[in-house]
A and B are shown apart, each in its own frame.
Chain A
């Protein structure tokens, strides 16, 4: 497909121009954080960011989402499902690791038999524009260990790569190509492409943090009862930060909120780190302590998801490593498992 060049300083303008026509999600500075948020008229997108604090999964799978609205009337309850609705949107400038997470989430929400209309509608109506990591942003990045690359179009409709003075714009899918008019007229030459290949190779090389993610699957297959599982959870606070920031964590709760005669049924992110997550009404809890919960989280990412969908459910963004308040490091866990 077509490739073009745009001047580096043109990027923010393009995002803002798109925001006139669509809902544009872009990285914006909010206090000390960079977050993906709908770009307002007076907002300035911030593309020189390392990575956003929140994973952009909230675009397709919001932290809190209305599943249906209902009203108590004299004739009984009336309700309307908020399913299969989505505004035409652009997710502008996500990192390739986060774009990779969408491919992984699709496997669950867009299964053959059980299609989640809430997720799918947003996914279908959103064009994903990835912003390649010409330089891996953090020392805790480990995308290359989990089937990713710092310069990758996986999960993206358009890939932008900083090749010096310009961005190389690659239209990866027809959905991406449909937005070509926003990216000027300058066709990319062979030189730009070889420059990009060079940058991609260098960036890949620069990801120094590596974990044996593929090696641990057969080890996890036979080590459910290993005493190793006693060694991870001791300092865990069960705060759920790792799961909330994780681009691939997708567990949710369903609950009701009522105000007067109006109510909403919402789904909101839940976390396997919480003690109540698996507790049954009878009082029985199949995962009674933090030990079982950590085993579940690790197994789910590196074994169960592989069993189910033939893919590791981790993109190597390193958020859980950076923001865990007690420094539990999934890279070390995987490393330790590889030595069992």
Chain B
């Protein structure tokens, strides 16, 4: 497809970026002066971007399908003779989907955060960072070349770091922020190497330049495509918390809940999927890379799901679920044109229901004095009715009960994997189907432990114990209450999205047709009810049943039982941290120690030895200076004799 110049209202698409950049600048530079109205400005800028995004979306819809890719050149960022990196805005069906997701869901979460962060003295800074994040994320999805995309990619990483560590007085939050940043760096190296390879091979870093090389077949064999694909996959793994760079996402839950909802569930962690789908010509030409993408996706979707089963922290259970769902998207993105559109469909639907679930979790925490242990919840459905209903709708969406979102989008992915055929297709589809069953189990577990059963929170108040009132030593008893309207309204809107988005996008192939100019058309189309989808639904119902048998029928113990070996492994994040520690950290420390030893003994030894030799020699030579005139006279005489003798020898 060809890219046309932006005309009409799209000439102002720079506004999309300008609004949040303006908000972030004012809030972060303005300082305490903006404390009173800062959060309102943040929300307003995000909403303004959303409004423009909607206008741009309908403008694009007004064009004929092949003309929907519109590029706006803004300025030459790095103009060097052969290297042109421009700041340009590419509005096409793919990026506009992301614009609507980021600004739409983002605005809802910002509105929610007004209520959630109401008692935080640093609320203005929080909104500044969030606006910075939205700006960076929009740059990521809107740029028309890889270098500007990389700038956005790093920008969201920075915003993620700042927001995970927002409560930096908590050591766990500060450490989690650093962990996320470092894990992301590993992936970023992959992306930057991919960009360098693109420039070396094609002399261009723009989407059109690179992709035209692939469409014309001049790309130096599938080896280049596979190398590029694998490097991009490494980048995607870092940003999207896919195995083997998954370990940071669970710790990232130390950030405030709106951050978890916006960055670590709905938008930023899906940037990897965007990167793969955006680079579809590269992956289409590199089957090895595609296979790697599907394997990563399948492994991660099971990995995340298993972790989600064992966590008692409600946010960490949801974080495991996020990993797992992004695994589905990655799996779909690895299937080629058969899966790209479904990856995006699941991504959009996931943006709704996972953001809704996180906001629900935040609402529960808000009412429970920031308690996150699900073993101390229970019976909250009567006390938090709106949260219960919206969370429940998100729950039904994620486990794929028809007619909610997840049913359509997840089953499309399972079908696409199934239709890939061959052994790999069977294995991938089996992983996806089993993953659906586990998803139903752990989400039902969250649901049952939080909202059903007897209340378990009063028993934990002990006189003078932890969490007791500091002055009176009275045991502290939470009083769960429904959140204010500013928090519940976004939750309701997201719940509506999680109910309707999947069906809206999948039925009549709406999203598939819309994205077709960018990502191609799936080779086969399938109906709503398919054999693998039905199996997945049956497994999901079994998962719900098992969860009910374990957590609904019998009371939930307040202290976690010992559990099986698998439970222990899952509680320890399937030893992801232990693996990193033993494979990377300890050898790294050894290497450091070796370097220090070599430096202190080898390099320093050489230099110090030289100095000591000179010093010692000087010390001995100093003895010659004994102050006796006659010995100086003797040395002068000897010198003179030697000189004369030398002269005589030379003359002879």
Asked if A and B are interacting partners, one says no
**Residues in A lying within 8 Å of B, measured CB to CB:** none
**Residues in B lying within 8 Å of A, measured CB to CB:** none
